Amino acid sequence: MKKSQMEIMGIAIIVVLLSLAFLFAVKFVILKEPTEQSKDYQQSELAGNFINALLDTNDPQCSDIKYSTLFQACYENDNGPCSPLNTCDHIESRIEQILADTFNQWNVNYFFMVTTNIDDLNPIPNLDPIPLSGPNTLEEVCKGNRKVKIQPLPTNTPGQSIYLKLFICD
């Protein structure tokens, strides 16, 4: 009687040990989150390439001036380049169109804005209601991981730059 009881106890201990090993395997192997290095790289490349391409684009309705210059003109309230159109309104509508044909069409979550402070998330007054992602805030649009590209542009005001920020979100 005692011997068989001991043997049953032995089997029970083996089963418990196997269960623990199985639980550890499930936790650390099966449920391990995969690293997404390619996704991080893609998002940061996408943000960088978009801003670089945008700033180099010439606008035929604004005397073929580049968008980098148009942003500066908008900040300085200069409506000459796109006359009779308002420079800031024109930039906003064109960029909305470009964003719609790229990120919206490809279902990429993004948040684009122009600010006067590198750390600031408040848009500059001339380009309000940009952010061009709509009325939502960055936290509402980008709930998960995000990659950001920040491009500074100098202005005629000494020491003052404007910053284009594009966040690509999960």
Partner 1 sequence: MASKKAQIQMMETIAILFIFFIIVTIAIIFYFNIAKANTAEKIDTFQELSKIQIAQLASTLPELQCAQENIIRANCVDLLKLKASSKQIPQPILPGPRLIFSNSNDYFDLFSFSNITVKQIYPSGAQEWTIYNKQPLEYQSKRLTFLPLSLYDPKLETYSFALMVVEVYT
**Residues engaged in binding partner 1 (CB under 8 A):** 11, 18, 22, 25, 29-30, 34, 37-39, 41-42, 45-46, 49-50, 52-54, 56-60, 64, 66, 94, 97-98, 101-102, 106
Q: Which of 124, 126, 123 is nearest to 78 (CA)?
A: 126
Q: Which is nearer to partner 1, 12 or 140 (CB)?
A: 12
Residue in 89, 94, 88 with CA at minimum distance from that of residue 59: 94
Tokens representing 147? 């990659």
Looking at beta carbons only, is 60 or 135 nearer to partner 1?
Answer: 60
Q: Least CB distance from residue 148 to partner 1, whole Å? A: 16
Closest approach of partner 1 to the CB of residue 118, in Å? 23
CA distance 135 to 4: 74
> In the beta sheet, which residues pair with residue 111?
167
Nearer to partner 1, 11 or 158 (CB): 11
Question: C-beta of 137: minimal distance to partner 1 in Å?
Answer: 25
> Of all helices (H) and strands (E), which one includes residue 96?
helix 87-99
CB closer to partner 1 out of 58 and 156: 58
Tell me if 162 sits within 8 A of 114, measured CB to CB: yes
The answer to whether 94 and 82 have CB atoms below 8 angstroms apart is: no
Give min distance, CB of 15 to partner 1, in A. 9
- Cβ proximity to partner 1: between 62 and 124 the closer is 62
SS3 105: coil
- The least distance separating partner 1 from the CB of residue 59, rounded to whole angstroms, comes to 7
**Closest-CA residue to 123 (of 138, 140, 108):** 138
Alpha-carbon torsion (110, 115, 119, 121), positive or negative: negative
